[in-house]
Every structure is written in structure tokens, then in C-alpha cells.
Amino acid sequence: MTRTRIVIAGAGIGGLTAAAALGGDHDIEIYERADAVRGLTGSGLTIWGNAVAALGRIGLGETVQELGAPLESQLVVTETGGPLSESPIGRLQREHADMGVGARRQALLDMLLRAAGPERVRYRRRVTGYRETPEGVTVLLDGGAEVHADILIGADGLRSVVRGQLLGDGDPEPLKHMVWRGISDSAAHYPVGTVLMVYGRQATRMVAWAVDDDSVCWSIARNGAPARNSLSANDLKDQLRTFIRGFPEANQHILESTPPERLLRSDLFARRRLDRLVAGRVALLGDAGHAMPTVFGQGACMAIEDAVVLADSLAAEGPEAGLKEYERRRMPRLRWVREQVFKVSQFQEWESPLLVTMRNTVMRTMPASRQEAMWRTMFSFDVGRPAGERADAAG
């Protein structure tokens, strides 16, 4: 087998998973603009069963499950604790994929870095563009250096330089809401195993899940345009207290037990369109290809799925045809997931009492079977090979 030279732009979740999935059969270099592989302090993730199943295909399924706490059920309530919906996500994940976990972002990144091969990452090296050549692709780095490769994978996140050149579609679009997040130092009063979502007044919503026995990762979202945060850490915490006044005790407690210096505020952006992931010898994955709102916590999970499918497609078809095959396999899945995410993101932004009452009534009365059907599809990871090949691979 000829070794393919692969350059990956970005050592985030997608780029590292791609390197791990491609394994030792290729010559891989990862260029990362930062000086380390870093998850922001106070940031945790839901790593759903579909992503665990994808990681399972590259031998990391059990390791990722050991990073955090299982996601057994999802409960959505109003700010006074009135139930809106409850989903047995643990059972559904076991039936359709593997058990998902809540984990710290840094723990996931550390695991992926070990699997990718730390020696493959070149830090403080920013990719600035690329040039396609008859033999492959020349990747341009800051400082004027160039590296030659057979393919370039753009895993450089929301404001991807590789995407900028490949699609030329400008900046991502700001969403109508922003988030504050943190990880508490105590899980007292919190129903561990539950993803708890509270829909409050003025479209304030808080979602939380445990990442271990003593820590709960949470985020509070409110409508508003991106803005500079001028508050001190303590004032920020006071502001968040007012946002969730009247919310269930578990929510108040996790905010209280999060040190102010570990609070994070983020403006949110997304890419509305998804037309392509590949052109010639260049492919996009993760947020570079399809950044979306954080509803359902599937962004990183999709980056993981992308990476595993990309590696599988390259193994099956070789460099150029493999990239086309990757795009062909990923598009239907990504389109479906994004459709759910954008739809629910819009419902969550509703503030008018009439619309809120309507939404809550729909949620309370929706048949469990409909909800479950949505979750089943969400959790089902399929590498996407034709059925015959899948049977061969299983054998």
C-alpha cells in the first residue's frame, strides 16, 4: 500500500480524531496555530452514543466511556420544575449505538492526542492557505513555509482558513443568542445521569449534565447579539444568578458551586449552508465544514463521525476518490442532524408568551414514540459503506 501524505490543519477534536482514525498507514502532519492542545477551562461536552460508536470503530470506544459520566436520561422542565418532556436516552443509546458520556473537553482532547500521536503535531504553525498542484496540494504556513501533501484536511474550526479558500463564503453567521458556561465543584442536589434542561422566562435556558460524581457541566443561554463582556468574574456570577432566579434548586446549586474565575462566556456562530465538504485534494471536517448551534450537543460528535468516515473512505478508495466518497457518505447524515438542530434552536429562542405556551404544550403532549424516533436516528452512527462491504468488514 502506498503511503499517502496528509496534512491536517487544526489539532482540535476533529483533526486529532482524523489522525487517530487514519492510523500509522499514512504520513501525517498536523499544524496547530496554538501552543498546545487546549480545551477552554470550564468547558464540558456531551459525547453521545453515536460519537462513542464512531470512536469504537477505531478502538477508542471503551477509553472514551471511562472519561466521564453516563448520559442516562434527558429531562426538560419549566423554571418552576414542571415537566415538559422526558427521554430514556440511556436505553436508546444502548439500543442504537453505545452509551454516551458527559466529559471535560480537555479529557477528550488529551485522549485523542495520545491516539493521534503527539509527535505528529506541529504547534504555533498557522495554516494560511493552499495551492493545488498536479501532484497534490501545497499547504501554506505563516512565515512563508510550504509543505507538500497528497491531501489537505481542513479541521481548523469555525473560522477555517481552508474553508475560506475552498468555499469563499465569508464569516460564520452570529446566532441570536449567547452562552455562559462552567463546571461546578459539587454535584449535590443534582440528579447524576440526567441531562437537565430548564426553559425559563425571556428565553433563558440552562442545560446541565454531570461529568463525574462531583462535577456538573452547565450552560446558560439567553437571546442577544454578540457583545464584549466588561463584567468582572464576580459581577458575571451575580448576573447569572439573576438570570436563573426561580430555577430548580439543583440549578442554583451548580452555579453557586462554580468558582467565578472558571465562568466562560461565548458568542455563538453557525454556518447556515451546507453544500460541499470537498474540492479536489482538500476536505473539510467538523466546524470548518458545518458549524451549527449547540442544541443537542452534537457539534463535536459530528466532527468525530466525519473523521472516522473520512479515514474509512480513504482506506476504501484511495486519496482522490476517497475524499469524494467521504462527502457522499456524510451529506445525508449531516443535513438531517443540522435540520433538527436549527429547528430546535429557533424554538428555544421564542420569547412571546403565546409562542412559549404553544411550544410547551407541543412538548408536553408529543407522543413518546415521536421523540424516540428522533433520538434513535440521532444516535445511530453508520460508517456508510454499501451493505455488502459492511458484511465483509464485520466478517
Ligand X SMILES: Cc1cc2nc3c(=O)[nH]c(=O)nc-3n(C[C@H](O)[C@H](O)[C@H](O)COP(=O)(O)OP(=O)(O)OC[C@H]3O[C@@H](n4cnc5c(N)ncnc54)[C@H](O)[C@@H]3O)c2cc1C
Cβ neighbours of residue 131 closer than 8 Å, sequence gap 6 or more: 137, 138, 140
Q: Which one, 118 or 386, has the nearer CB to ligand X?
A: 118
Rounded to a whole number of angstroms, the minimum distance from the CB of residue 37 to ligand X is 7
375-378 long-range contacts, CB within 8 A, separation 24+: 375/87, 375/89, 375/92, 376/92, 376/95, 376/96, 377/336, 378/48, 378/50, 378/296, 378/298, 378/337, 378/340
Near ligand X by CB under 6 A: residue from 297, 333, 375, 381: 297
Contact call for residue 181 and ligand X (CB under 6 A): yes
User: Angle formed by the axes of helices 89-96 and 368-379, to 10°?
Assistant: 50
CA distance 177 to 129: 31
Count of residues touching ligand X (by CB under 6 A):
35
The DSSP H or E segment spanning 313 is helix 299-317
Binding of ligand X by 263 (CB under 6 A) = no
Our CB check for ligand X shows the closer of 226 and 246 to be 226
Q: How far is the CB of 352 from ligand X (least distance, A)?
A: 25
Interaction of residue 46 with ligand X, rule CB under 6 A: yes
303 binds ligand X (CB under 6 A): yes
User: For residues 187-226, which are near ligand X according to CB under 6 A?
Assistant: 219
**Least separation, in Å, of the C-beta of 345 and ligand X?**
12
- With contact defined as beta carbons under 8 Å apart, do 157 and 287 qualify? yes
In the stretch 328-367, what mask flags binding to ligand X with x, by CB under 6 A? Answer: ----------------------------------------
Q: Does 179 bind ligand X (CB under 6 A)?
A: yes
Q: How far apart are CA 100 and CA 379, in angstroms?
A: 9
Residue 2: partners with Cβ closer than 8 Å, 6 or more residues away? none
Q: What residues make contact with ligand X under the rule CB under 6 A?
A: 9-15, 31-34, 45-46, 126-127, 155-158, 161, 179, 181, 219, 266, 268, 286-288, 294, 297-301, 303
